[in-house]
Amino acid sequence: MTDDSMRITPIGGCGEFGKNLTLYMYKGSVYVVDCGVKFAEVWQPGIMGLIANFDQVFAAYGAPTAYLLTHGHEDHIGALPLFYEDWPAPLYTTAWTMELIKIKFEKYRLSFKSKTHVVKGGDKITFADELCVEWLTMNHSIPMTCSLLISTPKLRIFHSGDFKFDPDPPYEQPTEVKALQRLRPIDLLLVDSTNSAAPGDSLSEKTVREPLRAYLRGDHPRIFLTTFASNLWRLLQVIEIAQELGKRVYACSRAIETSLEIGARLGLYDADRYRVTVITKTTRRIAADQAVVLVSGCQGERFSTLASIVSDRVRACALGADDLVLFSSRPIPGNELAIIKLCERIKERGARVVSVREDRGIHVSGHAHSQDIKNLIEVLAPKTLMPVHGNYSHLDGVQKLNCEAQVFMPTNGDLFELSQAGLKPLASEPVDDLYIDAESLVPLSFRTMKSRVRLGESGLCEVVGVIDKRNRNWLLPPHISNMTGIIEDDGIAALRQRVKDALREQLHSTDFANQTIAQVNNTVRIMFRRQVNLYVGKKTFVTSNVVEV
């Protein structure tokens, strides 16, 4: 590695949605751009989400010099409180994102072990090794989103983060696309590929106003609207429309309350003008007339407010037969089934459901469509291009835009070196995922996660026994002490006896004299697994706990 070169490795976010994390290494320093979590999939029971194994990352590349966070979505900041105590470093991000991080740290009872720095669009931070980071305000579906210009005396990298070009955003300034020309020459562009398959220009956030107005002006007793809680722009538009129509707005979601509180605190809107009544546990049933209720649950989450309302667990908001539920959002890949199930439950209650499946106009994405990506590439004219933030097909969509730049298709763990001669791949060192338990927040390895899944699929058979330490005779022959999830309870006693009878002779004829207790347990485990499998017709998870006395 030469003095003027930089090494780059995307640890997450390539070939997957979520877990966005990129390392920039320069003159011995390690700069971490974003620290996201990936939402758990259906086959991962009891898991909150997945993060990179940061011990493995920093052992390979060195301790972090600084964390540079582009915006406050979970797939960009969600992992931070789960590893920060072990790997503290100064933190740089915008005011909105910093507020969200502070809330997370309070929840996990963490303290900042290094300095935090609130930045805004236009700020430049120069580090001791002459690496400079400029923060550039971009439009997205969450306030205070920034792209990063990472430059050294001889190299310039544009890290787009999540973005889109909105020509007329409702509550923030539009990104001046042509103004980005001043950033040239760009040696490398890392670009958001999420919507690379969507044709044309991105739609403005303002375009949802009239479609939403058409539903809010209806004669439904109550209208429940769910969207991403962090999308302050959507929330403000709904509040504004409802007030214009003479309706009262309620918030029944802690996440939505948080967004509104942060927005008011940072001066992004006037709380006296945008009045919202917060529903608490003591709130009496709201009147079924002219009410708009903002709720969480747009991704079908089991414990969301919307799911609780459908299950009659929210006293103030019973779902009525003539109510309307609006999903002003799109499904995050992997959540489709959960959303469909929630919608079906709502319909069973007699309420009407409208989502983007019925009316695409009630939601617009915060990610750049293909033409926006083209426009960014054209205005920056990068020498090399690396699509990130998406599945392979999304990354490939950027590659198919036929730009003049040389395109590199990364996978997680690929290591690249950037110099004035260009970008070249060096190696690939995939990083293990850790599975975060939803209750304990303990990180689990893939092996442990696989065991958990196997237990759920195969059931558990526990075997106990006692063997004489000296002569290896059985003091208490091995037997099944417990069976869970294999057969119905009323059949366990019969199965236990059949296995006991089948193994009686084999246990006494097997020579255990020269086996350690670990070997004894392994032999017994295999014996019982074979017999249980023979009777139930499936490979069961068997544990053996034979002790010697």
527, 502 contact by CB (below 8 A): no
Residues 183 and 84 in one domain: yes
More confident residue, 281 or 348: 348
Give the up-direction half-sphere exposure of residue 153: CA atoms within 13 A in the CB hemisphere.
6
Residue 497: both structure tokens together: 């006896």
81-121 pLDDT per residue, tens = 999 999 999 999 999 999 999 999 999 899 998 899 999 99
**Domain range enclosing 215:** 206-359
**What integer pLDDT is reported at residue 524 of this predicted model?**
94
- Asked, for residue 142, whether it belongs to a domain, the answer is yes
- Mean pLDDT in residue range 445-471: 91
**Of 343, 359, 375, the domain-final residue:** 359
Residues 247 and 127 in one domain: no
**What integer pLDDT is reported at residue 39 of this predicted model?**
87
pLDDT grade, residue 219 (50/70/90)?
confident
Whether cis (ω within 30° of 0) applies to the bond prior to 185 is yes
pLDDT at 289 over 80: no
Number of domains in the chain: 3
Residues 98 and 126 in one domain: yes
d(CA 17, CA 386): 16
- Asked, for residue 268, whether it belongs to a domain, the answer is yes
- Asked, for residue 405, whether it belongs to a domain, the answer is yes
pLDDT at 287 over 70: yes
d(CA 366, CA 142): 8
Residues 285 and 403 in one domain: no
350, 344 contact by CB (below 8 A): no
**What integer pLDDT is reported at residue 334 of this predicted model?**
79
- Mean pLDDT in residue range 320-347: 92
Residues 186 and 64 in one domain: yes
- Asked, for residue 450, whether it belongs to a domain, the answer is no
Q: 58: domain CATH number?
A: 3.60.15.10
pLDDT at 390 over 80: yes
- Mean pLDDT in residue range 509-529: 92
Q: 259: domain CATH number?
A: 3.40.50.10710
d(CA 73, CA 163): 12
Q: Which of 49-63, 144-158, 369-383, 433-447 has the weakest average pLDDT?
A: 433-447
191, 197 contact by CB (below 8 A): no
pLDDT grade, residue 218 (50/70/90)?
confident
Residues 401 and 355 in one domain: no
Residues 33 and 91 in one domain: yes
- Mean pLDDT in residue range 295-299: 93
**Rounded to the nearest 10 degrees, how much is the dihedral formed by the CA atoms of 327, 329, 332, 333?**
80
**Of 444, 468, 498, the domain-final residue:** 444
Residues 219 and 303 in one domain: yes
CB count within 10 Å of CB 359 equals 16
- Asked, for residue 524, whether it belongs to a domain, the answer is yes
Residue 125: both structure tokens together: 């931070």
- Asked, for residue 292, whether it belongs to a domain, the answer is yes
| Highest mean pLDDT (candidates 145-149, 403-407, 472-476, 493-497) | 145-149
120, 144 contact by CB (below 8 A): yes
More confident residue, 327 or 287: 327
Percent of the chain clearing pLDDT 90 (strictly above): 77
Residues 49 and 33 in one domain: yes
Q: What is the DSSP string of 390-441?
A: B-HHHHHHHHTT--SSEE----TTEEEEEETTEEEEEEE----EEEEETTT-
pLDDT at 531 over 70: yes
Element spanning 125, H or E: strand 124-126
- Mean pLDDT in residue range 180-209: 96
Residue 215: both structure tokens together: 């539903």
Residues 215 and 163 in one domain: no
- Asked, for residue 55, whether it belongs to a domain, the answer is yes
**What integer pLDDT is reported at residue 290 of this predicted model?**
81
pLDDT at 247 over 70: yes
**Of 359, 379, 396, the domain-final residue:** 359
Percent of the chain clearing pLDDT 70 (strictly above): 99
Residues 6+ apart with CB under 8 A from 20: 12, 13, 34, 36, 75, 76, 388, 389
Residues 257 and 223 in one domain: yes
Residues 234 and 377 in one domain: no
527 DSSP assignment = H
Q: What is the mean pLDDT of the chain?
A: 93
More confident residue, 251 or 456: 251
d(CA 361, CA 372): 19
Q: 531: domain CATH number?
A: 3.10.20.580
- Asked, for residue 451, whether it belongs to a domain, the answer is no
pLDDT at 1 over 70: no
CB count within 10 Å of CB 471 equals 8
